[in-house]
Structure formats: structure tokens, C-alpha cells
Amino acid sequence: MTQQKSPLALAAQRLTEAVEQETRVARAGALVDLASAAWAKQIAFAAFNELQDSAVVSETLEQSDRDAIHGLLIAANENSLVLEAVKSTLDDVAARLHAILGSVADPGTYSRIGRSARHVPATRFDARA
């Protein structure tokens, strides 16, 4: 006969599944789907926290609870590594776009180290004016 899981173990299992789904989506690079996966994780996390804060959780945890929480920790650690990689990639893309936009907007003025390679003198300013 199988032992019925506690509410805490079930909530941890649902949160683990949501975290693993978000990790799969992020690893696949499906950024369009990442928001819905993050939302599902947020809902599961809220349910887990509510259960933790309620009187349902006793001082002593059953082994099934400990196993479920251990699985959640493993999934959460992997999730954080993958999401950090996604963030790093997006930061790199943003920096590249910023550089491109900066060079497009550059009218060919002087830089700190002198004249830009694509500088074309269109006007001449008198420093005394």
C-alpha cells in the first residue's frame, strides 16, 4: 500500500515541476514561452509559501516531505544557473544593441582620443565664439 503524500510534499512536487518546466523553456531559448512558465512557477511558489506559513506544516517533517523539498532545492539550483545564463545573454545583446545605436547616432564628432575614423568635417567651429 502506498503512503499518501502530505500537502507539503504535494506543494513541493508541484513547485518542482513548475521550476523544471521553466528551466526546460529557458534552456530551449523559447523566451516567448518563458513568461508563462515563470507565471506558473510564481503561482506554485505562492501555494507552497502559503502552506508553509499555515498550521499544516508541523515542526517535524516526514521523510516524503524532506525528499520533496530536497528535489525542489536541486531543481531550483539548476533553474537559477540556467536563468543566470539567460540573463547574461540578454545583457550582452542589450549592450551590443546599445553600442550599435550609439554608433548610428554618432554624427562623427570628436572622441576622447581624437577624430573618429568615419569623421567627415561638415562644419568648422571657432573656439573663440
14-73 confidence digits (pLDDT tens): 999 999 999 999 999 888 899 999 999 999 999 999 887 765 556 677 888 889 999 999
Give the side-chain half-sphere CA count within 13 A for 107. Answer: 4
Tell me the pLDDT tens digit for each residue of 61-117: 788 888 999 999 999 999 999 999 999 998 999 899 888 877 766 665 555 565 555
In this predicted structure, what is the pLDDT of residue 114? Answer: 56
- Please check the confidence at residue 129 and state whether its pLDDT lies above 50: no
Domain residue ranges in the chain: 7-99
Return the C-alpha cell found at 34. 518563458
Question: SS3 of 119, please?
Answer: coil
Q: Tell me the C-alpha distance between 100 and 60, whole Å.
A: 57
Q: What was the pLDDT predicted at 47?
A: 93
Q: Within a 13 Å sphere around the CA of 34, how many CA atoms are in the beta-carbon half?
A: 13
